[in-house]
């Protein structure tokens, strides 16, 4: 398995775990201690996802530069 493929699987697994944590916290059935523990884990998962996205963006920029593109345009969602 290539590194790129394993990164994608890790990202998706981490994102799914983060979504599950959010659902659990939104249920309102956790104690304050449990909520804080879940929140702390969620912060760590969020950082992992953000790093994976930054790494992917860097790879895209490198590929674009190799093919003569200078940079990406900033995405704007006007909806």
Give pLDDT, residue 1. 47
Residue 8 belongs to a domain: no
pLDDT tens per residue across span 9-53: 689 999 999 999 999 999 999 999 999 999 999 999 999 999 999
Separation CA 41–CA 19 (nearest Å): 12
The total number of structural domains in the chain stands at 1
Residue 67 belongs to a domain: no
**pTM value?**
0.68
Residue 22 belongs to a domain: no
Give pLDDT, residue 75. 62
What ranges in 27-76 are assigned the alpha helix state H? 32-66
**Domain range enclosing 56:** 31-61
Residue 52 belongs to a domain: yes
Are 38 and 21 a contacting pair, CB within 8 Å?
Answer: yes
DSSP letter at 74 equals P
């Amino acid at each position: 398995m290539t590194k790129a493929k394993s990164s994608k699987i890790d990202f998706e697994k981490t994102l799914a775990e983060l979504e599950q944590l959010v659902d659990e916290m939104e249920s309102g059935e956790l104690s304050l201690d449990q909520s804080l523990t879940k929140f702390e884990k969620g912060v760590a998962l969020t950082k992992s996802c953000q790093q994976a996205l930054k790494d992917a963006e860097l790879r895209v920029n490198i590929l674009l530069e190799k093919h003569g593109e200078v940079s990406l345009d900033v995405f704007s969602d006007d909806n």
